[in-house]
Amino acid sequence: MILERRRKKSAKMSRRNRVQLHTWLARHLQVALSSLGRYVRAPLSSLMTTAVIGIAIALPTGLHLLLENIQELGGSWDGTATISLFLHQEASHEAAAGLARQLNLKPGITHVSLIDKNQALQEFQRLSGFADALEALGENPLPEVIVVEPASDRNTPEAARTLLTELQNMPLVALAQLDLQWVQRFHAITDIARRTVAVLASLLSLAVLLIVVNTIRLEIQNRHSEIEIIKLIGGTNAFIRRPFLYAGIWYGLFGGVLAWVLVTLAIGLLDSPVDKLAGLYNSAFVLSGPDFHTVVALIGGSTLLGLAGSWVAVGRHLHEIEPQ
Amino acid sequence: MISFDNVSKSYPGGHKGLSNVSFHIEPGEMVFLTGHSGAGKSTLLKLIGLLERSSRGQVRVGGRNLTRLKKREIPYHRREVGMIFQDHRLLHDRTVFDNVAMPMIVAGLGHAETSRRVRAALDKVGLLRKEKAYPVTLSGGEQQRVGIARAVVSKPPVVLADEPTGNLDPELSREIIDLFGQFNQVGVTLLIATHDLELISRLNKRTLVLDQAQLSQDRPATS
Ligand SMILES: Nc1ncnc2c1ncn2[C@@H]1O[C@H](COP(=O)(O)OP(=O)(O)O)[C@@H](O)[C@H]1O
Ligand SMILES: [Mg+2]
C-alpha cells in the first residue's frame, strides 16, 4: 500500500520533472530565438560586429592553412632532404646496383635511384661543353651515385642526420651528402611562421573577445530601462543575463561561419594561380582548404569566444543596473 | 502583512528619507499613504519592494524579514509585491499583452497559464481589446491600467502604488481607485501613496500621513 503510493508519487514526480525540463528547454529556445530576432532586426550593427569578428578570425585561420599547405609542399617536394651517395671510384656498376636494391628495402627510405656514371658523363659532356677536356682524361672521372630519399616521417633534421651517418659508414660509400641546411632552414622558417600565426591568433582572439564585450556592453546600456523593469518585477540575474549570453553566442557563431566563408573564398581565388605554378614545376600540388576538424574548431572556438565575451560584459555591467 | 519597526532611511549625503517610522498593516487591508512632496512616501514604498534598504530598524513583509534578505533572494521577494508607478514603466517595444505577461515569464510559468491569466488581468482593467497594441498608442489612463494589470497578473499578496493617479484627470483617477477597491475586495493587501486628498476621501480607508520623514498620523477608517 505504502509502496504503491510511493510508486505513484515518484511517477508523478518524474512526470513533473519532464514537464519542467520541457518548459526549461522551451524557454531557452524562446530566448535564443528572440535574441536572434533582435540580431536580425538590427541588421546593420549586427552585421558590422559579425564582419569584424569574421575577418579577425579568418586572418589567422587563413595563415594557418597557408602554413599547412607549405609544410605539405615541403614534405612532398622531390629533393627536400635527399641524400646523395658518391661511391668509391673502383665500385662497379653491378655493385652499385646491388647496393641500390639493398637500400630500397631499408625502412625509412622511400625512393632510391642510381645514376649510371657513363650516362652521367655523356650528359655532362653534352651540357657542359667540356667534351674535349673529358675526352683527354681517357677514363670516366665520375663515380656511381645513388640518390636516396628518406621517408617523410624521417624528414626532420635529426632523423636525416642519423640516416646520413649510417649511410656514410657503408663500405661502398665514399661520401654521403645531405643538403641539411636547406632542411634545417625550412624547418626553422616554418617553426617561426607557426609561432607567428599562434601569436597572431591569440591577439586576434583577444580582439574578438573585446569586440563582443563592447557590443554587449552597448546593448546592455541600450536596454537599461528594460533591465530595470525586469528587475522590478522579480527577474533573477540569470533570467536577465540569458538573452545577452545568447546574443554573444550568435555573434560568435555567425562570425565563425563568416570566417569560414572568407577563407574558402580566398582559397578559391588562389586555386587556379597555384595550379598554374605547380604545373610549371611539374608538381601535382593542390591547395587544400580547411578540413572538417578545422571548420569545427573554427566555428566552435569563435562561438565560445562570443559566449565568453558576453559573459564578461554581463558580469561587469548587469549588476550596475538597479531599479530606482 | 507589512510591518515597520523603528525604520529610518538616510540617503547618501545625509538626506533623510524616513525617520523612526513604525506601523503595521494586516493582510487584506487597504491603506493610503499621504503627505507633502518629499515627505518620504516613495522611500517607504521602495523599502517594501527592496528598491532601497533601510538604514536602521526592521521591515517585515509577509513574515519575511527584509533586513536579512540576501541579494539573490530579492527577485523572489519582488514577485510577491506588485508595484505600480506614476510613470507606468512599461516596455515600449512590446505589446500590451507581452508587457502584462512579463511577471509570468520571469517566474517561468507555462504558456497556457500565462495566456489565461494575462487575459483575465486585462479583462479586469478593461483593456482586453488592446492586447496587441503598443503602449505608445494608448492614453495615459490606459497605460496606467496596463501597469496595474502587470502588477496583479501573478496574484501577489501585496500591491504597492506610488502616485498611480498623478498624471490623470479626476474621472480617470476615480476609475483607477475603484479598481484598487475591487482588488482589495478579493483579499489583496494594498498600500497606495498619493497626495490627492479627494481620492482618499472617496474610499473610507486607513490613512498614514508622513511629514518630513516622520509618521505624523495613522488615521483609521471611520466606521
Ligand atoms: N535617491 C535619493 N538620494 C538622495 N535623497 C533622496 C533620494 N530619494 C529621495 N531622497 C530624499 O528623501 C526625501 C523623501 O523623498 P521621497 O521618498 O521621494 O518623498 P515623496 O515620495 O513623499 O515625495 C526627500 O527629501 C528626497 O530629497
Ligand atoms: Mg514620491
The mean pLDDT value for B110-130 works out to 92
The mean pLDDT value for B83-106 works out to 93
pLDDT higher than 70, residue A200: yes
**For position A79, what pLDDT does the model report?**
44
Least reliable range by pLDDT among A39-43, A248-252, B133-137, B159-163? A39-43
Give the total residue count for chain A. Answer: 324
Structural domains in chain A, CATH included, are 29-75+186-320 (no CATH), 82-179 (3.30.70.3040)
**For position B158, what pLDDT does the model report?**
95
**For position A72, what pLDDT does the model report?**
75
Q: Which residues pair with B215 in a beta bridge?
A: B210
HSE of A324 in the Cβ direction (CA atoms, 13 Å)?
7
Best residue for ligand 1 mutational test, from B4, B10, B42 (most atoms within 8 Å of Cβ): B42
pLDDT higher than 90, residue A181: no
Which of B75, B110, B111 has the CB atom closest to A235's CB atom? B75
**For position A291, what pLDDT does the model report?**
86
How sure is the predictor about A80, in pLDDT bands with cuts at 50, 70 and 90? low
pLDDT higher than 80, residue A184: no
CB B83 within 8 A of CB B49: yes
**For position A143, what pLDDT does the model report?**
84
Distance CA A30, CA A301 (A): 24
Residue nearest to atom 11 of ligand 1 (CA): B17
Using a CB–CB cut-off of 8 Å, the residues of B that contact A are 49, 51, 72, 75-79, 83, 89-91, 93, 102-103, 106-108, 110-111, 150
Domain B1-80+156-223 homologous superfamily, CATH: P-loop containing nucleotide triphosphate hydrolases (3.40.50.300)
pLDDT higher at B137 or A120: B137
**For position A6, what pLDDT does the model report?**
54
pLDDT higher than 90, residue A93: no
What confidence tens digit (pLDDT) does each residue in A281-302 have? 767 777 788 889 989 999 999 9
pLDDT higher than 50, residue A78: no
Distance B84 CA to ligand 1 centre (A): 18
Residue A78, Cα to own-chain centre: how many angstroms? 24
Distance CA A145, CA A143 (A): 6
CA distances from A113 to A75, A145, A148 (A): 19, 8, 7
How sure is the predictor about A132, in pLDDT bands with cuts at 50, 70 and 90? confident
User: In the structure grid, which three cell numbers stand for residue A130, read together?
Assistant: 667540356
Residue nearest to atom 10 of ligand 1 (CA): B17
Least reliable range by pLDDT among A149-153, A171-175, A218-222, B131-135? A149-153
Best mean pLDDT range from A3-12, B13-22, B145-154: B145-154
How many degrees, rounded to 5, is the angle at CA A254 between CA A253 and CA A258? Answer: 120
CB B195 within 8 A of CB B209: no
Ligand 1: atom nearest CA of B37 is 23
**For position A81, what pLDDT does the model report?**
67
A189: CB partners within 8 A, 6+ apart: none
The mean pLDDT value for A269-286 works out to 79
Distance CA B93, CA B84 (A): 19
Percent of chain A's residues with pLDDT above 70: 86
Best mean pLDDT range from A45-54, A215-224, A274-283, A301-310: A301-310
Q: What is the mean pLDDT of chain A?
A: 83
Domain borders along chain B are 1-80+156-223, 84-154
The predicted complex's ipTM stands at 0.91
**For position A154, what pLDDT does the model report?**
59
Best residue for ligand 1 mutational test, from B11, B32, B36, B162 (most atoms within 8 Å of Cβ): B11
pLDDT higher at A156 or B31: B31
CB A233 within 8 A of CB B79: yes
User: In the structure grid, which three cell numbers stand for residue A236, read together?
Assistant: 533573477
Binary contact (A234, B90; C-beta < 8 A): no
A107: CB partners within 8 A, 6+ apart: A151
Percent of chain A's residues with pLDDT above 90: 30
